[in-house]
Structure formats: structure tokens, C-alpha cells
Amino acid sequence: MWIRAEVLRLTNVRASQMRKAGVPGPEGSIGKMASADLNKDIYEFVVDMMGLDGQLYGSYEMIRPEIAMGFDSFQKAFLRARANSIEGGTTEVMKNILGERVLGLPGDVRVDREVPWSQVPRN
């Protein structure tokens, strides 16, 4: 996991340098996807290492948190890490972007590609 974290850090450094040079590349999508997966794996490992204590959540009392995304336990951080693959663009969307724009794979069949969003038929 340390190696994955270091590769991710270096990828983010490269992406930052490319953006500053005005040539953004696929590193942003790759970094987002990789960081979400790494974050989930790290907290899964931590909770596994805690043994049975990893199953304890603490209090189930409904309290408004003092700070946004504050983790007062590893168990809460583990549960919160799942959201990383959804927020800011799902991992599936990132894979579609990389497949179509970077690898040149054919995109999904979209019969409404040229239609404005407001005119797309909905059920």
C-alpha cells in the first residue's frame, strides 16, 4: 500500500506540473480513481488489523458532527472511505473517460448524443 501511495503522490505531482504547463492529461482521472481505491483499501486493512474491535462503531447517538468529514475513529473513516469512489465523479465515469479519450476505445452507444439534455426523453 505504501508503494501505491507513493506512485499516486508522484502521479499527482506530474498532473500538477502538466496543468501548470497548460497541458492537462489523463493523470487527473487516474489519480482520482487510484486515490479512491487506495483509500478504501487502507481503511479496510486498518479495520482488519483491529480484529473484533474493528466491528465496534462507538455510539449510535444522533449527533451533529463538529467538523465536516471528521474521523474520530477508524471505523467511521472506513465507512466514509466508500464515498470516495462516488463523489467527484464515480470510478465508472473515470474509466469511461480514460477508455474513450486516452485509449481511443469506442464509447457507449448513445442515440441522444446530439440532443440537448433538456430534450432527452425520460421515463
Domains parsed from the chain with CATH numbers: 2-106 (1.20.140.10)
Question: Which pLDDT band, with edges at 50, 70 and 90, does 69 fall under?
Answer: low
Residue 41, pLDDT above cutoff 90: yes
Question: Which pLDDT band, with edges at 50, 70 and 90, does 83 fall under?
Answer: confident
Angle at Cα 9 formed by Cα 3 and Cα 13, nearest 5°? 145
- Return the residue matching grid coordinates 508503494: 3
Greater confidence (55 vs 123) lies with 55
Percentage of residues in the chain with pLDDT exceeding 70?
97
Question: CB count, 10 Å around CB of 11?
Answer: 17
pTM score, whole prediction: 0.70
Rounded to 5 degrees, φ, ψ at 17 are: -65, -40
**For residue 33, what are the contacts with CB-CB under 8 A and spacing of at least 6?**
91, 94, 95, 98
CA distance 9 to 16: 11
Contact between 49 and 42 (Cβ < 8 Å): no
Cβ-count burial 21-59 (b if 16+ within 10 Å, e if not): eeeeebbbbbbbbbbbbbbbebbeeebeeeeeebeeeee
pLDDT at 101: 83
Residue 85, pLDDT above cutoff 90: no
CA distance 83 to 114: 32
pLDDT at 70: 66
